[in-house]
Amino acid sequence: MIDVVMPQMGESIVEGTITKWLKQVGDKVEKDEALFEISTDKVDSEVPAEHAGILKEILAEEGTVVAIRAIVARMEAADGSSTPAAAAQAQPAAAPAAPAPAAPAVVAAPATAAPTSAAAGSVRSSPLVKRMAREMGIDLGQVTGTGQGGRISKKDIEAFTAGGGAAKPAAAAPSAPAGRPVTPAGGYDPFPAAPDSRFGDYYVEPLSTMRKAIAEHMVRSMHHTAPHVSMIHQIDCTPIVKARAAAKDKFLQQNGTKLTFMPFFLKAAAIALKEYPTVNASLDGSDVVMHRDINIGMAVALDWGLMVPVIKQADGLSVIGLQKAVNDLADRARKKQLKPDELAQSTFSISNYGGYGSIFGTPAINQPNSCLLGLGALHKAPIVVDDAIAIRTICYATLTIDHRLVDGALAAMFLEKMRSVIENWSESVL
């Protein structure tokens, strides 16, 4: 039999939720054909079969949280022969206990040693878990890791706080405003109870893994980490509208893809980030991390949530390169083909809600970025040009800033630089 294991989707990912089986017991499976879908705190993805064969047994049902390298199914080789296990370290996933009403059961790969409290200096956990512990003031040395080899997972942190685990006094999180629910660890609860919402004819369904991750990320960003302030500039986009109109047909012919307005804004943002590097920085505690790389995250709306794939080294790409990167990342996000590494290491992010008709908004910062640019819909409006009224294509650009690091004056200068690049566009598109 061939063991099908939960893949390692990224260095910091230790578990994933099986959201859907694309094949059922008895189905024939071709090599590299999508077998099941998983959801982690970073990405939703389809997992392809590493071998051809017949699916004989499913060990982890939909909705089950599974540790990496745990066996989730077994297949019979296409020729009916017996094949060695796909991974030497893989072991059968334990049968899940009856799940609590609000949470799926957890299937974990058996640890090589009995779980023990992580000793100081030898804590095994992901960067995400370490960041959570730091933000919540939790000493990881006091947390028992239930993962392989005693590794501490996000669920171990949640179990620790739910069990009354106390934060270190020196690192205690700030108190919440009056009336806001607080978790035992001093952080904000992203899911406060709302019993008054249940009335009349209704039904209940659980939040997906992705929506939970989005909720926790946004609540942590807006109410626990960064004081948000937004600055809005009006940009006359007529020059890039003309540049795109003149080049779009030849661009499509030469590159096999449509030319949109996004690469123009990406290029302008990259130029402005070089001039104002603090907008491209991150705060790690009281340290300012000044990024030399300009890696721009691009929010992609999906039917089931939101992802922010990252265009690495965006300042080194031409308009053509930026457009190809935008199309590739957005397309693979919708097809659940992104890798976790493609959602990591952004230094700045852009949300193009204008594509859905919104004129302007005040978007939330995508941590650990310090700033996020929101782009409203391009639309025609009468404005004053050289003391005369003219009809121009304008866009409202919003820069939401972490006011701990970036002040309004710097935000305004950044937006003014972007405006200048757009309104004086001179770079060749083709």
Residue 350 near residue 375, CB atoms below 8 Å:
yes
Joined tokens for residue 6:
């939960």
Half-sphere exposure of 417 (CA within 13 A, CB side): 19
Cβ partners under 8 Å of residue 332, min gap 6: 309, 338, 342
Half-sphere exposure of 335 (CA within 13 A, CB side): 11
**Is 407 a residue of the active site?**
yes
Through-space distance between the first and last CA atoms of the chain, rounded to whole angstroms: 54
Q: Is the dihedral of CA 270, 241, 318, 358 positive or negative?
A: positive
312-320: long-range contacts at Cβ-Cβ below 8 A with a sequence spacing of 24 or more? 312/345, 314/266, 314/269, 314/270, 315/270, 315/271, 315/273, 315/274, 317/266, 319/259, 319/263, 319/264, 319/267, 319/427, 319/429, 320/251, 320/255, 320/263, 320/429, 320/430
Residue 415 near residue 397, CB atoms below 8 Å:
yes
Neighbours of 317 (CB within 10 A): 20
In terms of Cβ atoms closer than 10 Å to its own Cβ (0-12, 13-18, 19+), residue 363 is buried
Residue 75 near residue 61, CB atoms below 8 Å:
no
**Is 233 a residue of the active site?**
no
DSSP structural state of residue 316:
G
**How far is 8 from 15, CA to CA, in rounded Å?**
8
Annotated catalytic sites, by residue? 403, 407
